[in-house]
């Protein structure tokens, strides 16, 4: 057997199944499409679910993929062992009602023994204990001796998830040899040790479980197989773990090089090396699929992985940022199978650097707070960190919970996780109540799962605003029905429709569906799996029945506004790339009839000049009256023409390319103006940051711009009216008002200081002499610190030589000041020491230089005692 590399094995597998009539498909994005049950794709089968359930028709009945996958269920163990990881690639061949057990078993055997060249004597199949059919195929057709075929029970060899399709499995184990064995008697296939590892799993989906353990044979039987690519490579390369296979070892070596450490030298160091090696792979692939670090959902998974890796870098003693450097190695090692990594390289590295910098800024403060909290725990003899404290670390310092947990665990502490969740929920509730939530649909989405999957609606809204078509299905909010009557809410499906369903960031159409006697108000239009378009709304008149012909008409004015805004986002994207650079990628967008919102990747706030330049370019292209054309072509052709594609988006075989003159070319399924001239005018109203490395522009077009200026004008007029002037003179008026305020303020200060003097009364007759040094100790209530100082200056000048002590009661507090002239200092007087001694009498403290000192106190009642004590305090100082 040759020591095939990861990249070779991937290609060998896909080529082999292609030769067996399979359609070779690229890996799907890590972001599940139309599947809310998953945060991230975690198996080769996950993105193909609609083909298995029959919700969508597969492009071919035989498909093969190498799917990038992320699993975070075992994240706590990643690094601690060499078995766990979050990122892996899954090889798979799939049959949707086509071939079954015989072919699946034969091909898996052929691939392993003939293509890869694994010694058949080291392979052991297993079957489900009741699956005699599979046993026979292995025994009679492949020729494996019965004692080498293992029968396992439901827990190991039956795939099932509650009710629904399920079936037995047949796995193939590989014997890695005695050196990996536990040497216990009875060590054989199925043993927990590292000797026999499962490399291939064939799932034969042949039954339907009704939920009560009753199984019926499925009409359409499916094959779903999976083989971990990295695990297969450990076999061909005969190495200990996935961290030793060629591509991952290259990365592991890079981690060691950056940190200046060696692998397999210190078990503690190895944990960090493996953790970083694994996490940086996940992180790189997630970013390439358009996931952005955030505090929610998959964005949070990304942030957690990234920050754990950053912290373990510190544990290894890495001082500078290092994630981007490592990511470069990930890209170099994996770009063969995933060209998108190379395409998005600049962006991936920039985003990583920004997020790492952000974390580095707060990590030291966070770690300091955490060690203080630990000290308190030790002092109080506790071992559990309060949930609120863990939440504060999360909220303020960006410490993911498992990071805090991991740090504490190393020292034997735990977290009150329930308390953490509570604190988190309180914050979420607050955030939620601050947002108004609207959900048009109201309906339980599962009602749509009851629809016949073969029903398809055609969208004709690119050409038409209204059309006649037949009703193919109706639902209420809870069930499929054959008629809807006045007052009922529901969803109408028709054969053809001009209504655009929310997608690609474009808001849904609203409008009316009518017959001669009935009317249905469409409040929302939705796209369902399998190419169905649903009109959600309410019957306002009469009754609508399936199979009858209805007239569908969209709200044209609304669509008209939406068209302008959508076309403007295309011009905007091109203008942004022109002004800011080619790192600008669309990160999200939303257009409706009122406005447009465009999120894009960029790493600093835009300057006024940049915003202005972008507006200028877009308006120029509007004036140029560019013709807008749409062409349908294959994705390869589209890429060749240089059309901009959306980040991390999975496109079908044929795509729609929207061209605006020579200026813009984008893949887009939305609706557009025929000529950019009809956009009329474009205006950016805000530019803000929404996440690290993502900016958001909100802008208006057409009538929206006029409304915007009308509003500004109204506000300007109102402001002018309030300032009792005309709009044209408003600036001058505001300037003169500010001058006036300044003058009044200085007048006010003068009056305050005069009041301070008055509060003191005629104090010069309170001057006493202590050992020949003049002392003035007096109170002046209601005077703030600054004025007390001014007052002190004046009194000291009046006094000529000597010591001035002033105390003032203001707002339940005491201000104190002491001043000593040069000659008094020579006699031994010291302002700082005087204040230090006297301030305690008013419940305060303070000090200062020999010539001037001040202090505050909390107890005005002590002022008299203070003034009485002053002569004695001075006397002690004098020679």
List residues binding Zn ion (CB under 5 A): 182, 187, 191, 193, 668, 670
Task: Tell me the closest approach of the beta carbon of residue 407 to Zn ion, in angstroms.
Answer: 35
Task: Tell me the closest approach of the beta carbon of residue 234 to Zn ion, in angstroms.
Answer: 17
Contacts of 809 (CB under 8 A, 6+ apart): 779, 781, 782, 860, 863
- Tokens 């005069």 correspond to 754
Task: Tell me the closest approach of the beta carbon of residue 52 to Zn ion, in angstroms.
Answer: 31
Our CB check for Zn ion shows the closer of 697 and 795 to be 697
What's the longest Cα–Cα distance across the chain? 124
Record the tokens describing residue 98, joined without a space. Answer: 């086509």
Beta strand 852-857 with 813-820: parallel, antiparallel or unpaired? antiparallel
Task: Tell me the closest approach of the beta carbon of residue 564 to Zn ion, in angstroms.
Answer: 13
- Tokens 């009922």 correspond to 488
Our CB check for Zn ion shows the closer of 187 and 719 to be 187
Task: Tell me the closest approach of the beta carbon of residue 576 to Zn ion, in angstroms.
Answer: 14
Our CB check for Zn ion shows the closer of 174 and 394 to be 174
Our CB check for Zn ion shows the closer of 193 and 712 to be 193
Task: Tell me the closest approach of the beta carbon of residue 367 to Zn ion, in angstroms.
Answer: 42
Residues paired with 522 in a beta bridge: 511, 537
Our CB check for Zn ion shows the closer of 536 and 576 to be 576
- Cα separation, 457 vs 647, in Å, equals 27
Our CB check for Zn ion shows the closer of 171 and 406 to be 171
Record the tokens describing residue 689, joined without a space. Answer: 């940051």
Our CB check for Zn ion shows the closer of 670 and 832 to be 670
Task: Tell me the closest approach of the beta carbon of residue 320 to Zn ion, in angstroms.
Answer: 41
Is the Cβ–Cβ distance between 495 and 510 less than 8 Å?
A: no
Nearest to 475 by CA among 439, 528, 554, 515: 528
Task: Tell me the closest approach of the beta carbon of residue 197 to Zn ion, in angstroms.
Answer: 11
Q: Name the H helices within 242-344.
A: 246-259, 267-288, 297-315, 323-334, 339-343
Our CB check for Zn ion shows the closer of 290 and 313 to be 290
Our CB check for Zn ion shows the closer of 193 and 470 to be 193
Number of other residues whose CB lies within 10 A of the CB of residue 865: 13
Task: Tell me the closest approach of the beta carbon of residue 186 to Zn ion, in angstroms.
Answer: 8
- Cα separation, 657 vs 667, in Å, equals 5
Contacts of 39 (CB under 8 A, 6+ apart): 32, 297, 298, 301
Is the Cβ–Cβ distance between 92 and 224 less than 8 Å?
A: yes
Hey, CA dihedral for 315, 317, 320, 322, is it positive or negative? negative
Our CB check for Zn ion shows the closer of 123 and 668 to be 668
Task: Tell me the closest approach of the beta carbon of residue 507 to Zn ion, in angstroms.
Answer: 13
Question: How many residues belong to the chain?
Answer: 879
Task: Tell me the closest approach of the beta carbon of residue 438 to Zn ion, in angstroms.
Answer: 24
Task: Tell me the closest approach of the beta carbon of residue 511 to Zn ion, in angstroms.
Answer: 21
Nearest to 279 by CA among 465, 79, 136: 79
Our CB check for Zn ion shows the closer of 668 and 694 to be 668
Task: Tell me the closest approach of the beta carbon of residue 666 to Zn ion, in angstroms.
Answer: 6
- Cα separation, 360 vs 358, in Å, equals 6
Our CB check for Zn ion shows the closer of 179 and 879 to be 179
Our CB check for Zn ion shows the closer of 124 and 391 to be 124
Task: Tell me the closest approach of the beta carbon of residue 180 to Zn ion, in angstroms.
Answer: 8
Give whole-number Cα distances, 79 to 235, 245, 269, 279, in Å: 21, 16, 10, 10
Buried residues in 60-88 as b, exposed as e (16+ CB within 10 A): ebbbbbbbbbbbbeebeebbeeeebbbbb
- Cα separation, 78 vs 76, in Å, equals 6
Our CB check for Zn ion shows the closer of 670 and 844 to be 670
Our CB check for Zn ion shows the closer of 193 and 764 to be 193
Is the Cβ–Cβ distance between 520 and 535 less than 8 Å?
A: yes
Task: Tell me the closest approach of the beta carbon of residue 198 to Zn ion, in angstroms.
Answer: 14
- Cα separation, 125 vs 107, in Å, equals 13
Record the tokens describing residue 360, joined without a space. Answer: 């580095």
- DSSP structure string for 174-240: EE--GGG----TT--TT-SSSSEEEEEEEEEEEEEE-SSS-EEEEEEEEEEEEEEHHHHHHHHTT-S
Task: Tell me the closest approach of the beta carbon of residue 308 to Zn ion, in angstroms.
Answer: 32
Nearest to 441 by CA among 346, 538, 364: 538
Q: Which long-range contacts (CB under 8 A, 24 or more apart) does 851-854 make?
A: 851/819, 851/820, 851/821, 851/822, 851/825, 852/817, 852/818, 852/819, 852/820, 853/817, 853/818, 854/785, 854/788, 854/789, 854/815, 854/816, 854/817, 854/818
Residue 741 — left, alpha, or beta (φ > 0 → left; ψ -120 to 50 → alpha)?
alpha
**Half-sphere exposure of residue 847, counting CA atoms within 13 Å on the CB side?**
3
Our CB check for Zn ion shows the closer of 550 and 591 to be 591
Number of other residues whose CB lies within 10 A of the CB of residue 657: 20
Task: Tell me the closest approach of the beta carbon of residue 715 to Zn ion, in angstroms.
Answer: 33
Give whole-number Cα distances, 740 to 497, 617, 719, 745, in Å: 66, 43, 18, 9
Our CB check for Zn ion shows the closer of 191 and 744 to be 191
């Amino acid at each position: 057997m040759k020591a095939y590399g990861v990249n070779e094995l991937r290609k060998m597998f896909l080529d082999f199944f292609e030769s067996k009539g399979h359609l070779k498909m690229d890996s799907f994005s890590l972001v599940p499409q139309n599947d809310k049950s998953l945060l991230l794709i975690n198996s080769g089968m996950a993105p193909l679910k609609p083909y298995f359930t029959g919700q969508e028709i597969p492009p071919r009945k035989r498909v093969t993929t190498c799917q990038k996958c992320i699993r975070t269920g075992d994240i706590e163990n990643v690094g601690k062992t060499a078995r766990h990881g979050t990122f892996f690639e899954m090889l798979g061949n799939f049959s949707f009602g086509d071939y079954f057990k015989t072919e699946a078993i034969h091909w898996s055997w052929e691939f392993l023994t003939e293509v890869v060249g694994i010694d058949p004597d080291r392979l052991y199949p297993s079957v489900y204990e009741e699956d005699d059919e599979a046993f026979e195929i292995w025994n009679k057709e492949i020729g494996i001796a019965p004692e080498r075929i293992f029968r396992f029970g439901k827990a190991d060899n039956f795939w099932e998830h509650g009710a629904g399709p399920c079936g037995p499995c047949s796995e193939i184990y590989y014997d890695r040899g005695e050196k990996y064995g536990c040497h216990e008697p009875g060590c054989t296939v199925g043993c927990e040790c590292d000797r026999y590892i499962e490399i291939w799993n064939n799932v034969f989906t042949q039954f339907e479980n009704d939920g009560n353990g009753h199984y019926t044979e499925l009409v359409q039987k499916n094959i779903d197989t999976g083989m971990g690519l990295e695990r297969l490579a450990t076999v061909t390369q005969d190495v200990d773990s996935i961290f030793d296979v060629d591509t991952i070892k290259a990365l592991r070596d890079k981690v060691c090089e950056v940190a200046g450490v060696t692998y397999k030298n210190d078990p503690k160091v190895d944990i960090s090396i493996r953790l970083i090696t694994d996490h940086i792979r996940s992180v790189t692939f997630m970013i390439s699929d358009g996931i952005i670090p955030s505090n929610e959902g998959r964005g949070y998974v990304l942030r957690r992985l990234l920050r754990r890796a950053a912290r373990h870098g510190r544990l290894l003693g890495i001082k500078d940022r290092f994630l981007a450097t490592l990511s470069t190695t990930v890209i170099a090692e994996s770009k063969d199978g995933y060209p998108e990594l190379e395409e998005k390289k600049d962006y991936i590295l920039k985003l990583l650097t920004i997020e790492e910098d952000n974390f580095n800024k707060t990590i030291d403060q966070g770690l300091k707070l955490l060690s203080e909290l630990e000290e308190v725990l030790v002092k109080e003899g506790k071992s559990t960190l309060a949930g609120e404290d863990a939440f504060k670390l999360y909220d303020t310092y960006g410490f993911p919970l498992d990071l805090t947990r991991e740090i504490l665990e190393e020292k034997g502490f735990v977290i009150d996780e329930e308390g953490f969740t509570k604190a988190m929920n309180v914050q979420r509730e607050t955030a939620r109540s601050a947002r108004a939530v609207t959900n048009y649909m109201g309906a339980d989405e599962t009602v749509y799962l009851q629809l016949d999957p073969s029903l398809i609606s055609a969208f004709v809204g690119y050409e038409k605003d209204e059309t006649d078509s037949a009703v193919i299905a109706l639902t209420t909010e809870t069930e499929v029905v054959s008629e809807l009557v006045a007052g009922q809410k529901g969803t109408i499906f028709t054969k053809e429709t001009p209504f655009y369903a929310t997608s690609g960031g474009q808001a849904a159409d609203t409008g009316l569906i009518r017959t001669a006697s009935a009317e249905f108000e469409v409040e929302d239009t939705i796209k369902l799996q399998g190419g169905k378009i649903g009109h959600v709304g309410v019957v306002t008149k009469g009754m609508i029945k399936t199979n009858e012909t209805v007239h569908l008409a969209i709200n044209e004015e609304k669509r008209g506004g939406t068209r302008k805004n959508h076309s403007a986002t295309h011009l905007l994207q091109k203008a942004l790339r022109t002004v800011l650079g080619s790192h600008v990628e669309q990160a999200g967008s939303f257009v409706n009839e009122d406005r447009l919102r465009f999120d894009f990747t960029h790493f600093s706030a835009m300057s006024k000049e940049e915003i202005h330049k972008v507006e200028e370019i877009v308006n120029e292209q509007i004036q140029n009256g560019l013709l807008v054309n749409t062409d349908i072509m294959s994705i390869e052709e589209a890429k060749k023409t240089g059309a901009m594609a959306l980040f991390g988006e999975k496109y079908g075989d044929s795509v729609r390319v929207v061209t605006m003159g020579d200026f813009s070319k984008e893949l887009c399924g939305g609706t557009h103006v025929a000529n950019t001239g009809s956009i009329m005018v474009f205006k950016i109203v805000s530019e803000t940051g929404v996440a690290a490395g993502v900016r958001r522009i909100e802008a208006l077009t057409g009538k929206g711009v006029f409304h915007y200026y009308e509003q500004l004008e109204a506000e300007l007029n109102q402001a002018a009216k309030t300032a009792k002037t005309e709009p044209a003179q408003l600036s001058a008026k505001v300037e003169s008002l500010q001058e006036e305020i300044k003058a009044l303020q200085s007048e006010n200060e003068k009056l305050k200081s005069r009041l301070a003097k008055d509060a003191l009364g005629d104090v010069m007759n309170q001057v006493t002499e202590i050992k020949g040094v003049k002392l003035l100790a007096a109170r002046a209530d209601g005077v703030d610190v600054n004025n007390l100082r001014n007052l002190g200056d004046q009194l000291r000048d009046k006094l000529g030589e000597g010591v001035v002590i002033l105390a003032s009661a203001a707002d339940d507090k005491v201000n104190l000041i002491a001043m000593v002239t040069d000659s008094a200092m020579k006699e031994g007087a010291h302002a700082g020491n005087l204040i230090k001694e006297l301030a305690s009498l008013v419940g305060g403290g303070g000090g200062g230089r020999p010539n001037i000192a001040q202090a505050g106190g909390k107890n005005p009642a002590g002022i008299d005692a203070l003034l009485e004590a002053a002569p004695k305090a001075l006397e002690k100082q004098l020679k």
